Structure 1
Amino acid sequence: MEKRAIRTPFFVVNPKAYLYGEKALELARCADRLAEQYDLDVFFTGQLVDLPALKRETKHLIITAQHMDGLRPGAGMGHVLPEALVEAGVQATFLNHAEHAMPFAKLAQAMARADELGILTIVCADTVEEARALAMLHPDIMVCEPTSLIGTGKVSGGDYMAATNEAVKSVSPHTLVLQAAGISTGEDVIRAIRSGADGTGGTSGIVAKPDPCAALEEMLTALHQIKEEGK
């Protein structure tokens, strides 16, 4: 199966383990409506048990696993089987997030399996050096965010964004770069894209707000604005 082509700028809604079940579906329905309204590619991650429902209840989102292993059908108790994700309608997966780091060999194995099955790979890196090294594996998307800033509401500095963007593109020009640390407002979204990133996204900047749907709408409105400016 061929991987889905991604239009830029794109956005990732990543509720992690903050939302699950009906609350996750509620935000997904909001994201689905906004993705259609603004004609944007929007990734939406979910708990493994919620992924089939997220796929069934939305039409415009790129349903994304928060992790995947590189095994094949057979033995592998407790691991996330790539074929099962495809069966559930998943089109992308995060790999090597700071909260679920992977040894290099395991990461490479999982990426190879994703390539076999047409699953987009969203690989996370912390430092400029790590971003450059992991870009050698040619992920579809590289998430560049300092581990120290995850969940803090503090946005990566402009120098970090520019350096990681350049590090990834210099090694793997076709890899899309996502700058996501601390994104919590429309202004943060604009700043990230103007740094040269292909996409951005958020977690606590969305789910920790009194009205997550309104927070997401502010961000996607800003993303749509900068997309229109670039036409």
Structure 2
Amino acid sequence: MSLVKKPFFLVNPKSYLYGDKILKLAKIADKIAQKYQIDVLFSGQLVDLPRIKSETHNLILTAQHMDSLVAGRGMGHVLPEAVKNVGIKAVVLNHAENPLTLSVLDKTIKRAKEVGLFTIVCSDTVEQCRAVAELGPNMMICEPTSLIGTGNTSDDKYIVDTVKAVKEINPQILVLEAAGVSTGKDVEKVLRLGADGTGGTSGIINAPNWEDKLNEMILPMKKYKEEN
């Protein structure tokens, strides 16, 4: 059974929030995940995730990166076993802000699988989506790098083509379409066009009220789930 059930939502604060602020957002996301019975993945700085784990109950806590090393030498790198040991369930790899070569990505996905971490791998173009899908991640984030943080969503053709590209390689890979998603209507759009889930960063953290924004974005998922 997959760790994540569709439709799902990723709250991804990147490096914008830490400490008490990210804990505040996590508690809001935790409450809303329970309210709507939607799987919510939540990423954060590695040093903050153990505290978030101790004060939430419904989130799938997600590291923003890890390395492929094994226990031993590797000063300054993120050890997969250490990530798993503190209760983190998933890891994002190859984000546009921390890209990996295909060979390094391949090794890192394999190491994540060895220790039992759910892999969420980012890709840009349709061609990159096909190449990454061949590596067998559990989930892919398909988004044009040029649109990240702009508030402009991917066009319909990009969403349809990237979902198709991934599913043709491996229909078991979950596809998250996220670039620029910041409203409930954006969420409805990506689900209607075939995405298994979505998520956001700037659209959430820049909102005047985080709880209102997450309610706006996750409620359509509940409705979609009930209708499909």
TM-score range, shorter chain: over 0.9
In the other structure, the counterpart of 2:7 is 9
Q: Unpaired runs of 5+ in structure 2? A: none
The list of structure 1 runs, each at least 4 consecutive aligned residues, that deviate by more than 6 angstroms after superposition, is none
Q: Which amino acid aligns with 1:133?
A: A
In the other structure, the counterpart of 1:54 is 52
Contact 2:142 2:162 in 1 (8 A): yes
Contact 2:3 2:118 in 1 (8 A): no
Aligned match for 1:158, one of 134, 156, 159: 156
- % identical equivalent positions: 54
Q: Which amino acid aligns with 1:99?
A: E
Aligned match for 2:123, one of 106, 122, 125: 125
Aligned match for 1:178, one of 176, 180, 183: 176
- TM-score normalised according to structure 2 size: 0.98
Distance 1:121 1:5 in 2: 10
1:116 is paired with a residue of what secondary structure? helix
Aligned pair 1:40/2:29, yes or no?
Answer: no
Distance 1:54 1:70 in 2: 25
2:88 is paired with a residue of what secondary structure? coil
Contact 2:28 2:210 in 1 (8 A): no
Q: Which amino acid aligns with 1:40?
A: I
Distance 1:115 1:173 in 2: 18
Q: Unpaired runs of 5+ in structure 1? A: none
| Residues 81-113 of structure 1, C-alpha deviations (whole Å, 9 max, x = no match) | 111111111000000000000011111111001
Distance 2:161 2:176 in 1: 13
Distance 2:2 2:82 in 1: 18
Q: Which amino acid aligns with 1:55?
A: K
In the other structure, the counterpart of 1:107 is 105
Contact 2:81 2:115 in 1 (8 A): yes
Distance 1:137 1:62 in 2: 23
Distance 1:152 1:213 in 2: 21
Number of residues paired by the alignment? 228
Q: Which amino acid aligns with 1:25?
A: L
Q: Which amino acid aligns with 2:148?
A: I
1:43 is paired with a residue of what secondary structure? strand
Q: CA deviation at 1:4?
A: 5.0
Contact 2:142 2:178 in 1 (8 A): yes
Aligned match for 1:216, one of 200, 214, 226: 214
In the other structure, the counterpart of 2:73 is 75
- TM-score normalised according to structure 1 size: 0.97
Q: CA deviation at 1:213?
A: 2.0
